Amino acid sequence: MTLDASPDHREDAEPVLAGSDLHLSFGPTPALRGASLSVGAGETVAVTGSSGSGKSTLLHCLAGILMPESGQVRYGDHDITALPDKQRSALRRTDFGFVFQFGQLVPELTVDENVALPLRLAGVGHKEARRRAAHWMERLEVTGIADHRPGEISGGQGQRTAVARALVADPVVVFADEPTGALDSLAGEQVMTLLSDVAEESTTAVVLVTHEPRVAAYADREVVIRDGSTQREQEPVR
Amino acid sequence: MSIGLTLLGLLEGGSRHGYDLKRAYDDRFGQNRSLAYGQVYSTLSRLLRDGLVAVDGVESGEGPERKRYSITPEGVEALERWLSTSEKPVADLHNTLFTKVVLAVLSGRDAHQVLDAQRRAHMDVMRDLTRRKSKADPTAQLVHDFSLFHLEADLRWLELAVSRLEQLTKEIAP
Amino acid sequence: MSARGNARTLRALRTRIGDFRLGVRLAVGGSRTPWGRLSLAAIGIGLGVAVLLLASSVPNMKQARDERQEARLAGVYGAYSAGPSSVDQEPVLLTAPQGTTFRGEHITGRALQPQVPDPPVPAGLEQLPGPGEMVVSPALQDLLQSPGAELLRPRLPGEVVGVIDKEGLVSPGELRYYTGVTDLSAAGVGVAAVYPEKSSRTQPGDALPPQLWIMLAFGVVVLLVPVVVFVAGTTRLAEAARSRRLAALRLVGADGAQIRRIASGEALVGAVLGVLAGWLFFLGGRQLAGHLSILGFSTFVSDIRPDWWMALLVTLAIPVITVTTAQAAMRRTIIEPLGVVRQVAPRRHRMIWRLVPMILGVLGLLFVGASSASVTDLQIPFLGSIVLLLIGVPLVLPWAVERVVQRGSAKSLPWQLALRRLQLSSGTAARSVSAIAVVLTGIIGLQTFMATIEAEERSQSTQSPSSRSFQPRHEVSVRGELAGPEQSLEELTEALAGLPATRHVEGVTTVRFGTLEVEEPRKTRVKRYRTRATIVDCAMLRELRDISRCRNGEVFREAPQDPQRTRDRQPWREPVRPGERLSAMARHHGPAGAQEHTAEAATWQAPQEFRQLPEQTGPSGTFSLSGLVLTPQAAEEIPWWARSVQVGLDFTDSASPDAIERVRNVAAEYLDFSGAHQYGTASAGSDAMTTYALIRYGLLLGALVTFALIGCSLFVTAAEQIQERRRQMAVLAAVGTRRRTLGWAAFLQNAVPMLVAVVLACLVGLGLGMLVVGVASLDTLTFDLPGMLGLVAIAALSVLVVTALTLPALRRAMHTDGLHSE
């Protein structure tokens, strides 16, 4: 398995999630050509790169949403790319959490219902789901708007709600795709501070896709992706 | 920023007279002010003293004597060390970085690596600042914010530079 | 199973129910419930359910009517008797059909004459009306009490003593009466005798002739399939938003089955509301239908009731259809949620499997057409094939629309906007017109079939000589029987001539002759019909036929047309022999007593010599002289009760439409069982013609209802598209796009799919029509081009109307407010 070659990142014995040499093209345009990324428990890795460089595609491959054409994604004992859809879905429900920039909160559901959604999808009972959701809403400081619907709250509150939802099922890995993309600096800062604090406390690994250096600075490590391939870090100049 | 290292970089392409060196420097990097002759020769003599350049020969003719300088292996080593070392993120950084990138392109090196190394250095500082900021009091936070935004501006410039490298290479590569 | 296994099963079950509940929750979200969309779906599905329930009530409706009709017949008719019954019993009740026409409406009546103190009573009556009394249906009672009834009353002079109850009526609007009489003769050929022993004779319900059956079944399918397509379509309202929402759920880990369950839960809310609404519409519409009368067709509210299993089927099938559609619609969301979330153009539709139902349908119809069995025996293959063909249309349509818009390239801005939009969402566009395409296809097929039937009938009628040569000699024909010995034809014609509207009047009397015969099995004596005789004086006979010489007392006989042929066709109708004794037959009246047929008084002896009646050259007119023609002097022995009267009458030019009613009143004064018919006025023809007209009318009505339904859905889709693209609209408006440009784009966006739908529908519809014509084995394939153009015009109109209706929404969307909305 090819691991990230960076010597200075936290060298955990075993990364919890590791994608290696991933290739994927949409039609004639290659989106990923040899991208690799691994993340250890409790580690936050920022994936940066210009738009169209393939950073979201890499995230989707790692999360089992997209299937790469070649390469593998190891999670625990599994190669995610070899799992059937049903199991990948189950993995996303139970082991992964997601924060996206767009269209993630269900507009018909209230904030607390949105937060409890992954638990309900996983078959957790109504009361239990509510209780656990309440905990995370408090942690993310959105308890006050529990009865509101996504249309009635601010962008920052929405993203904090999304973070609470991503964490509610005690995931092993949280995937965050431009979580502050539509927020102003302060709101973005709040979201990122809470996300990184919580991830650190709960030893949750975070894969953070962003194009903003200030956001990437919340991560422990940065992986730059350019033209669909991740850049090796610390390679000596010839 | 080191004029000496820059001159070494210019010499790597082939031996030159001091006068040529000044012209080449002014062409590439003298946007703000051109180099004085005195500075060229004092720098060259320092490089000569350190064994980073050597004198190939002296041509005599009308006017002052013209020495031909060339880079020594020690000089190449010093240059490489410099290029692969990231600069401390400070204001006015672009002058140095710009020089490095152009030199890397001119010498056929991978300019991406110059930029990536710099990016890493910047990110390290930013990470550190971010960590410290989260524990700081609001006044200190403001100061950190200032630094962070400036560092981010540098990084933006770096990103753009990376995107423009291809174009740049076409334009200035020998 | 282990406890842990049980727990796991329980958990899985709970997840399933949870998914479902989540779907329901998504559809009904408290304060922000999309009530507008939900109620539209409910109304749409509801209308569909109501139509289906109504359609499934039709067989029951017909059966209930048939049953009551049958009960009425069994109660009153008993057994017909043209002579004495073989049974050694006296009849308990005599009855004869009566009736009249009032301002174009038929009123049926029945004269009843009890023969015993305790006679049977027809269904719907408490007791028999006494002599001179009437029991009338509620509708007739209303008519008699309405203004203008004074023109009807003289014909129905009896005192109304009761109202016919529902069980004695076929429909609430039926105009019917029973009246008590005393002068019916059991020997009358028009009189039915009821015997105490109940006749078990039942008449099988009239089976529709195959062509009518095909038309009816075809029509019902053509109208119901679009309803189902429409219902399926309502589930896909606001699909784009729903797909994006569910795709987002999919990204956070809902698996395919969960998405399907959530979508089902969501669709089910609309479906359940829709089914409830459907029942409400149906029950409400039923009440309304009780007060409606279409072409004289009305029905009892209680007759409109679907079979329980049909009702159950509709109630369950609609939710199943909507859920299935909702699940099918989620296919792309499940496979490529990322593409849905990011609104990437979907992949192209594949053609092959979409053609399968259509091909199967064509093969099926070809098979039914080629099969030697009757269509009515192959109902399921026949109807199934039509359904398959029709279902094929909405399947092929998205492909066709896609092909057309992919090809299109545009120069003008509105075209560009419309085409590019359609390229992105050709599926939605195709769906919005798919129901209309199905209706058009079906109706064009139906039109072709009906046009062919009509052409066939026309070609047949022009071939038959009898109908061509019929030209009435008089404007009005009056028929009836003398009401008593004191009445005479002369008095009647005088009275008619006295009416202000009468210009000319003339009349004849006719007699029917029979011979007494002994019927073999039980040696009963029976009077058999032999010939008809017309009593005309010489003056009139000269006018009617080319006769040079006529003396009073002479008897003419129709030239025997090839006696051999006559005998083959009607063996009992031997020509009257010279000197033969014939017996005059009573129609309704006669001397009292059933044995009167033997009475000498009723016999007439033919002369030893007949004059030959010249063949008819001109139009036969009001009086057809067939059989014998008697001059009045030769008919003196014939009693009054055997004489029927035929009067021809012409109105003056200034006669009012009610003149005919006055004629009927005068006729009723002198005649019994009288009727007057005015040629050239609209009057219901044969039963088959009525059925044909009813079916046509019903189909037209159904088509209009379906069109209206689909127009609504078209509008909703268009409005929804604008709603969904408010932001883009606002942006376009903000950069200075003219409202006209966007209006045009919206129009084109509606028009292009409609155009494709119309072209496809015309092609498939004509094919369908041709195939059904083939099934019905008709030769003169005819296309109803005006009808087709009419449909196309309606389609074009609907596009215009829908675009016009969406313009206000477009204007609102173009307001720069749209820029701020999130």
Interface contact flag, A65 C341, Cβ < 8 Å: no
C113 CB-near residues (< 8 Å, 6+ apart): C93, C94, C95, C180, C181, C182, C183, C184
Which of A69, A25, A59 shows the shortest CA–CA distance to A173?
Answer: A59
Which residue in A85, A117, A118 is closest to C255 by CB distance?
A85
Is B139 an interface residue toward A (CB < 8 Å)? no
H/E element holding C229? Answer: helix C210-234
- C498 backbone dihedrals φ, ψ, rounded to 5°: -75, -15
Chains A and B lie in contact, requiring 3 or more CB pairs less than 8 Å apart: yes
Sheet holding C79-80, edge to edge: C79-80, C192-194, C93-102, C105-114, C176-180, C133-136, C159-163
Token pair in block for residue C432:
């919005």
The pLDDT value given to residue C566: 54
State the pLDDT confidence band at C269, using cuts at 50, 70 and 90.
confident
User: What confidence tens digit (pLDDT) does each residue in C388-439 have?
Assistant: 999 899 888 888 888 888 776 767 778 888 887 787 777 777 877 888 888 8
| CA C396/CA C646 separation, integer angstroms | 64
| CA C190/CA C673 separation, integer angstroms | 10
Inform me whether the pLDDT recorded for B133 exceeds 60.
Answer: yes
CB-CB neighbours of B76 under 10 Å: 16
| CA C786/CA C765 separation, integer angstroms | 15
Pairing status of strand A229-230 against strand A70-75: unpaired
| CA C660/CA C672 separation, integer angstroms | 17
| Mean pLDDT score, B159-171 | 79
User: What confidence tens digit (pLDDT) does each residue in C2-25 have?
Assistant: 666 777 777 777 777 777 777 777
Instruction: Please report residues of C whose CB lies closer than 8 A to that of A86.
Output: 255-257
CA-atom Rg of chain B in angstroms: 19
Which residue in C11, C30, C253 is closest to A118 by CB distance?
C253
User: What confidence tens digit (pLDDT) does each residue in B89-103 have?
Assistant: 666 666 777 788 888
Which of C211, C672, C249, C720 shows the shortest CA–CA distance to C487?
Answer: C672
Strand partners for C651: C502
User: What confidence tens digit (pLDDT) does each residue in C166-203 have?
Assistant: 877 888 888 888 888 887 777 677 777 776 655 445 45
The pLDDT value given to residue C766: 92
| CA C394/CA C358 separation, integer angstroms | 10
Chain C 207-266, residues with CB within 8 Å of chain A CB atoms = 244-245, 248-258
Q: For B129, name the nearest residue in chain A, comparing CA atoms only.
A: A217
Instruction: Please report residues of A whose CB lies closer than 8 A to that of B110.
Output: 237-238
CA-to-CA separations, A56 to A172, A193, A227, C735, in angstroms, rounded: 19, 22, 12, 32
The pLDDT value given to residue C599: 47
- C227 backbone dihedrals φ, ψ, rounded to 5°: -60, -45
Inform me whether the pLDDT recorded for A2 exceeds 90.
Answer: no
Which residue in B123, B127, B163 is closest to A50 by CB distance?
B163
Token pair in block for residue A164:
């609470």
- Residue C635 gets the label, from left (phi > 0), alpha (psi -120 to 50) or beta, of alpha
Residue type, C332: R
State the pLDDT confidence band at A237, using cuts at 50, 70 and 90.
very low
The pLDDT value given to residue A234: 41
The pLDDT value given to residue B60: 67
User: What confidence tens digit (pLDDT) does each residue in C614-658 have?
Assistant: 776 655 555 777 778 888 887 777 777 788 888 888 887 777 778
User: What confidence tens digit (pLDDT) does each residue in C490-500 have?
Assistant: 888 888 888 78
Which of B121, B154, B82 shows the shortest CA–CA distance to A8?
Answer: B121
Which of A39, A33, A85, A42 shows the shortest CA–CA distance to A62?
Answer: A39
User: What confidence tens digit (pLDDT) does each residue in C360-384 have?
Assistant: 999 998 888 888 777 777 778 888 8
Which of C646, C677, C669 shows the shortest CA–CA distance to C512?
Answer: C646
Q: Comparing B36-45, B76-85, C517-526, C751-760, which segment has the lowest mean pLDDT?
A: C517-526
Q: For B159, name the nearest residue in chain A, comparing CA atoms only.
A: A50
Question: How many A-C residue pairs are in contact by the CB < 8 A criterion?
Answer: 91
Pick the CATH number of B1-83 from 3.40.50.150, 1.10.10.10, 3.40.47.10, 3.20.20.80: 1.10.10.10
Is A50 an interface residue toward B (CB < 8 Å)? yes
Q: Which residue has the higher pLDDT, A49 or C1?
A: A49
CA distance B105 to chain A (A): 13
Length of chain A (residues)? 238
Q: Above pLDDT 90, what percent of chain C?
A: 3
Interface contact flag, A121 C19, Cβ < 8 Å: yes
Mean pLDDT of chain C: 76
Q: Comparing A176-180, B136-140, C83-87, C278-282, which segment has the lowest mean pLDDT?
A: C83-87
Token pair in block for residue C324:
């299935």
Q: For C343, name the nearest residue in chain A, comparing CA atoms only.
A: A103
The pLDDT value given to residue C363: 92
Q: Comparing B48-62, C23-37, C111-125, C143-157, which segment has the lowest mean pLDDT?
A: C23-37
Inform me whether the pLDDT recorded for B37 exceeds 50.
Answer: yes
Query: Most confidently modeled of A43-52, C337-346, C615-624?
Result: A43-52
Most C CBs within 10 A among A88, A121, A148, A174, hence the mutation to make, goes to A121
Mean pLDDT of chain A: 82
CA-to-CA separations, C635 to C534, C541, C552, C580, C632, in angstroms, rounded: 10, 15, 10, 15, 5
Inform me whether the pLDDT recorded for C147 exceeds 50.
Answer: yes
Strand partners for C512: C532
- Looking at residue C599, the DSSP 8-state letter turns out to be -
Neighbours of chain C (3+ CB pairs under 8 A): A
| CA A214/CA C370 separation, integer angstroms | 78
Pairing status of strand A205-209 against strand A44-48: parallel
Is C26 an interface residue toward A (CB < 8 Å)? yes
The pLDDT value given to residue C360: 92
Strand partners for C295: none
Instruction: Please report residues of A whose CB lies closer than 8 A to that of C254.
Output: 89, 93, 121
The alpha carbon of C201 is separated from its chain's Cα centroid by a whole number of angstroms, namely 28
**Where do the domains of chain A lie?**
102-170
The pLDDT value given to residue C314: 85
CA-to-CA separations, B152 to A55, A62, A181, in angstroms, rounded: 19, 28, 16
Neighbours of chain A (3+ CB pairs under 8 A): B, C
Tokens 């037209």 belong to residue? C700
The pLDDT value given to residue C763: 92
Interface contact flag, C29 A108, Cβ < 8 Å: yes
Interface contact flag, A103 C255, Cβ < 8 Å: no
| CA C398/CA C147 separation, integer angstroms | 59
**Where do the domains of chain B lie?**
1-83, 85-174
Q: For A110, name the nearest residue in chain C, comparing CA atoms only.
A: C29
Which of C426, C418, C431 shows the shortest CA–CA distance to C401?
Answer: C426
Which of C298, C316, C318 shows the shortest CA–CA distance to C308?
Answer: C316
Which residue in A197, A233, A236 is closest to B120 by CB distance?
A233
| CA C112/CA C343 separation, integer angstroms | 79
Instruction: Please report residues of C whose CB lies closer than 8 A to that of A110.
Output: 30
Q: In this structure, are residues C477 and C490 in contact, taking their beta carbons and an 8 Å threshold?
A: no
| Mean pLDDT score, C724-731 | 74
User: What confidence tens digit (pLDDT) does each residue in C746-779 have?
Assistant: 888 888 888 899 999 999 999 999 998 888 877 7
Sheet holding A173-177, edge to edge: A96-99, A173-177, A205-209, A44-48, A221-226, A229-230
| CA C376/CA B35 separation, integer angstroms | 107
User: What confidence tens digit (pLDDT) does each residue in C51-107 have?
Assistant: 888 878 877 787 787 777 776 765 555 444 434 444 556 677 777 888 888 887 788
Inform me whether the pLDDT recorded for C683 exceeds 50.
Answer: no
